[in-house]
Amino acid sequence: MHKIHYRPIPLEVTAAVVHERSGPFHVERVELAGTGAGEVLVRVAASGICQTDVHARDGYFPIQYPAVYGHEGAGVVERTGPGVEKVKPGDCVLMVFPSCGTCVYCANGKPAYCLAASRLKHLGTRADGSTVMTLNGAPVFSFFFQQSSFATFALATERNVVKVPEDLPLELLAAFPCGINTGAGAVLNVLRPQPGDAFAVFGAGTVGLAGLMAARIAGCEPIIAVDLHPNRLVLARSLGATHTADAANSDPVAEILKVTGGLGVRASLEAAGSPQTLRQALDCLQPMGTCCLVGSSRKGTEASIDMKNLQNGRTVRGCIQGDSIPEQFIPRLIDLYRAGKLPVEQLVTFYNFADINQAVADSIAGKTIKPVLRMLKRTENEK
């Protein structure tokens, strides 16, 4: 019997390519490598845009240029490589954060803290150094978060895809892999507030508002949202905030202490990635309170704290990717969405793929909360 050799077939796809640091996204035709062992080819239906993608564009990570980003892809499995058993062609999936599966953290159910995470997310190539995209024969650095979902097709791995129900819109589920998972996970998996605990969130973007909704689910009271953008504070009210603080025109710590009768909050979430807001998120804690840092910042960013504030039992800890096991936590989030407790649709604004630069600009300006790219063009009325 002759041995059958698997020959991956390259595919021409459309991708949003950034050619230089902080440069615009160019929607271009590129060649995507064929599906290798353990890999999954996904026809991308939609991809969320996250602050991390903007940070990657701006050189926060070591991935080289030209590059393709995107790490919140949702789509349908087109093809699987040798050894893949978890999914099959036709399955609806989300592409989530990568992990090695073998280090001490992965082995102990903490894949978000995988020792190989930075390399897997930001290398821009496969583990063997091969690139998965080319443009006119030249390498394009992709495989960002082992997906690079700002494209009509993406290569992922069996480990970083999660099967999702077919009856829910993939374009809405594209908000879940990072933003919703991170914010809700920080509250439900890390802070774990009890009913009646006072809670404050600093930064009412996707991650912060997901955390706010999770705090409401947990029964927190009061819930205070802090942000610089009035429109985001209005939305925060509609999603469960009992109080809001405009950080541009008031002292958030003073406002929070006033609301809580001088005691402070049991739990705070820093989702802005600012040294100033981290300090405020600590200063507003009651004794034995905990601040969870999820806001993204450049390596080397330092924040000052009042050491005296830590002596009263206060805790500051970081959290990556909601401290979640995606295959367990994503279905839980979807169940909460079905139950009407996690109205993600109120955060999302849809954009056609060709409008990616506008989507990013609107997000940076605070005009939209969660931009999601639709890879299939829609009419203006549908937008």
Task: Provide CB contacts within 8 A for 79, sequence distance 6+.
Answer: 35, 40, 41, 89
| pLDDT the model gives residue 309 | 83
| pLDDT the model gives residue 377 | 59
Separation CA 354–CA 265 (nearest Å): 43
Task: Provide CB contacts within 8 A for 260, sequence distance 6+.
Answer: 198, 222, 286
| pLDDT the model gives residue 378 | 46
* Residue 67: pLDDT over 70: yes
Mean pLDDT within 217-224: 98
Contact of 181 with 329, CB cutoff 8 Å: yes
Mean pLDDT within 31-46: 96
Domains of the chain: 11-21+39-49+57-175+347-374 (3.90.180.10), 183-321 (3.40.50.720)
Residues forming a β-bridge with 95: 161
Average per-residue pLDDT for the chain: 94
Indicate the pLDDT class of residue 383, thresholds 50, 70 and 90.
Answer: very low
- Of residues 62 and 376, which shows the higher confidence score? 62
Indicate the pLDDT class of residue 7, thresholds 50, 70 and 90.
Answer: very low
* Residue 311: pLDDT over 90: no
The amino acid sitting at 115 is L
- Of residues 223 and 6, which shows the higher confidence score? 223
> Considering only CA atoms, which of 20, 21, 17, 19 is closest in space to residue 298?
21
Task: Provide CB contacts within 8 A for 211, sequence distance 6+.
Answer: 183, 184, 186, 187, 201, 269, 271, 294
